[in-house]
Amino acid sequence: MSAAPAIRPGYAIEATGIGKKFRRFHERPTSVKQRFLRARTTSEDFWALRDVDIAVKEGGTFGLIGPNGSGKSTLLKIIGGILRPSTGHVVSRGRIAALLELGAGFHPELTGRENVYLNASILGLSRAETDGAFDEIVAFAELEDFIDNQVKFYSSGMFVRLGFAVAVHVDPAVLLVDEVLAVGDEAFQRRCLDRVRQFQHEGRTIVFVTHVADLVRQICDEAVMLDHGRIQASGDPEEVVREFRRENLRHIMPLVREEGTRELEIASVELISGDGTSGESIAPGEELIIQVELRAQSPVDNPSVGIALHDHENRTVFGTNTGILGTHIEAFDDKRRVRFHLRPVPMVRGRYWVTAAVHSRDETRVYHVQEQAASFEVINQGHDPGEVFIPTTVDVEEL
């Protein structure tokens, strides 16, 4: 095998052509004889990663996202040197501290104190260096009263607090974190994020795996989305998170679902921005027009036309109809166009789906419903925090 090239200046990690193959067994042998006789027929090769290239800049914060089984944790373990790649190579610069799962590297029969020294030595600290950091580690983990207990009696929260505390106190140039920023209680998560931001200010490199897409958007400089072991999106965190949510929506709401008696039909649902252009992509606070075209199979007096908006988890975030808004629609036997003007759109970011419906005024008869008939995305170029856009002005008064 040829030697890996030297890492380029300005980069902390470079992974090139990474592939990882595992053997997947369809049934577990129950004896040594079965293991030898049936090995060829009960297993197959499974590629957890294929052709993955990433480059993490020194001092950058790099996020890995993707659905379960996409290869995120496997890639992190390869970067950390815990797994060897089947193809490709990884080069890195500086001491790497890895916190890849709860209690990884802890010996259950040892005390918390003993495990601190064991983990610190694995991560490259001398006994004297661990002595100097020990009190800070225990204080960060808030385990002063339990540090001399065997860790097999620790709760999962105590495990992760101690593991994280050791990892961030070994003075790493690169910190690898797998899902830890999303576990533990709220106070611990805040403390973890504060330490991550401190590392960012100090110019350290951070690579972490998470399912919390908003966390990637908030603190990462770059991100990669994996799916079935391959890179599906990479680069700007906003774009990667957008693609991640778009893929999730394809699984949650893949098709327009329709129902109704069809005396009145929904011919089309169109999204228009306030300036008359397409409303499929708008900014917070812009006007959005939801245009519903109806086609009558038979005249119906005063039908009610409604819309509903759903977020990426298919939760209804808004709904209204012509009855609520006090609009009367006369019976017709051709076509009608109904426009709902949303001024302004109050969401800060995210993709939203539109359901349109037409039913009798008393809601006892459903003429036609189109679920998730259209979608639009609110794109926030200003990276404003929060979920809701509130138009705000400010003035300053001399006292």
User: How far is Cα 99 from Cα 167, in angstroms, rounded to an integer?
Assistant: 6
Query: 50, 375, 373: which is closest to 242 by C-alpha?
Result: 375
- As a whole number of angstroms, the distance between CA 170 and CA 121 comes to 9
Return the HEC string of 63-125. EEECCCCCCHHHHHHHHCCCCCCCEEEEEECCCEEEECCCCCCCCCCCEHHHHHHHHHHHCCC
Q: What is the pLDDT of residues 118-175, one digit of tens each?
A: 888 877 788 999 999 999 999 988 899 999 999 989 887 788 788 888 888 877 889 8
Q: Is the Cβ–Cβ distance between 64 and 226 less than 8 Å?
A: yes
Q: List the 96-99 sheet strands across, edge first.
A: 96-99, 174-178, 205-209, 61-65, 222-227, 230-235
Helices (H), 253-396: none
pLDDT tier, 196 (very low <50, low <70, confident <90, very high otherwise): confident
**pLDDT, position 234:** 93
The whole-chain average pLDDT of the chain stands at 85
What was the pLDDT predicted at 99?
73
3-7, 285-289, 391-395: segment of lowest average pLDDT: 3-7
List, in sequence order, every residue forming a beta bridge with 235; answer none if it has no partner: 223
Q: What pLDDT is recorded for position 120?
A: 85
Per-residue pLDDT, 219: 86
Residue linked to tokens 């991550």: 196
DSSP class of residue 5 equals: P
- Residue carrying structure tokens 């830890």: 180
259-378, superfamily in CATH?
abc- transporter (atp binding component) like domain (2.70.50.60)
Domain borders along the chain are 11-250, 259-378
> At residue 379, does pLDDT exceed 80?
yes
pLDDT value at 204 more than 70: yes
The pLDDT assigned to 182 comes to 58
Mean pLDDT calculated for residue range 3-8: 76
Q: Is the pLDDT of residue 110 over 80?
A: yes
| Angstrom distance (rounded) from CA 309 to CA 355 | 6
Q: Three-class SS of residue 140?
A: helix
Identify the pLDDT of residue 41: 54
Query: Can you tell me the distance from the alpha carbon of 359 to that of 149, in angstroms, rounded to the nearest whole number?
Result: 66
Gap between the Cα atoms of 334 and 295, Å rounded: 6
Per-residue model confidence (pLDDT) at position 101: 63
Sign of CA dihedral 239, 240, 241, 247: positive
Q: Determine the Cα angle at 188 with ends 182 and 191, to 5°.
A: 100
Of 88, 91, 59, 94, give the one whose Cα is nearest residue 71. 88
Q: Is the pLDDT of residue 194 over 70?
A: yes
Give the model's confidence band at 40: pLDDT under 50 very low, under 70 low, under 90 confident, else very high.
Answer: low
How much is the pLDDT for 267?
Answer: 92
Residue 179 clears pLDDT 80, i.e. is over it:
no
Yes or no: say if 353 and 377 are a contact pair by the CB < 8 Å rule: no
Query: Band of the pLDDT at 36, cuts 50, 70, 90?
Result: low
Architecture of domain 11-250: 3-Layer(aba) Sandwich (3.40)
Q: State mean pLDDT over 176-181.
A: 75
User: Mean pLDDT throughout 196-211?
Assistant: 88
The mean pLDDT of 253-267, rounded to a whole number, is: 78
219-253 pLDDT per residue, tens: 899 999 999 999 999 998 888 887 887 776 665 55
pLDDT tens track for 333-368: 899 999 999 988 999 888 899 999 999 988 888 999
Provide the pLDDT confidence category of residue 177 given band limits of 50, 70 and 90: confident
Q: What does the pLDDT look like over 297-336, one tens digit per residue?
A: 988 888 999 999 988 777 889 999 999 999 999 999 899 9
Prediction pTM value: 0.64
The first and second tokens of residue 66, run together, are 């993707």
